Every structure is written in C-alpha cells, then in structure tokens.
C-alpha cells in the first residue's frame, strides 16, 4: 500500500491549502514592499520628518540659520 503524501505546510483539505497559499502570498508581497515595517512606525517617521522640515524652515525664516 502506498502512503498518501502529507504536506507539512498545509492541511489535507482544499480550503486549508488555499488559506495557506493566500497567507504565503500575502507575506511574500508584504516583504517585497519597500515600507514593510509596522504602519505605526512608518507614520511616526513621516511625522518626525515633517516636524524636522518645518523646524528647519522656521529657523531659516527667522534668520537663526544662514545658508
């Protein structure tokens, strides 16, 4: 008698395999994205960058920093 192949990555049922394949594709797509970091960290860096640019602009306008 031949043993049926059992995959360790997914279940025996078709729905389990589909769910695993979808999760694997989503994880791979997320790693391929340039901003795959946590969204809270991403928005934190964007806000920090905006504050730094604003502060430098105000310092230039006030004459504290000269070109």
- Is there a domain that residue 37 lies in? yes
- Is there a domain that residue 7 lies in? no
- Is there a domain that residue 41 lies in? yes
Q: Please tell me the total count of domains within the chain.
A: 1
**pLDDT above 90 (res 64):** yes
- Is there a domain that residue 5 lies in? no
For residues 11 and 46, the model is more confident at: 46
- Is there a domain that residue 4 lies in? no
CA–CA distances in Å: residue 15 to residues 12, 43, 47: 9, 36, 42
Domain that holds residue 21: 14-62
Q: Going by C-beta distance under 8 Å and a sequence separation of 6 or more, which residues neighbour residue 16?
A: 10
- Is there a domain that residue 24 lies in? yes
**pLDDT above 90 (res 53):** yes
- Is there a domain that residue 1 lies in? no
């Amino acid at each position: 008698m031949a043993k049926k192949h059992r995959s360790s990555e997914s279940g025996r049922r078709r729905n389990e395999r589909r769910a695993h394949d979808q999760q694997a594709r989503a994880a791979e797509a997320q790693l391929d994205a340039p901003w795959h970091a946590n969204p809270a960290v991403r928005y934190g860096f964007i806000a920090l960058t905006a504050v730094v640019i604003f502060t430098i602009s105000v310092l230039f306008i006030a004459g504290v920093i000269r070109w």
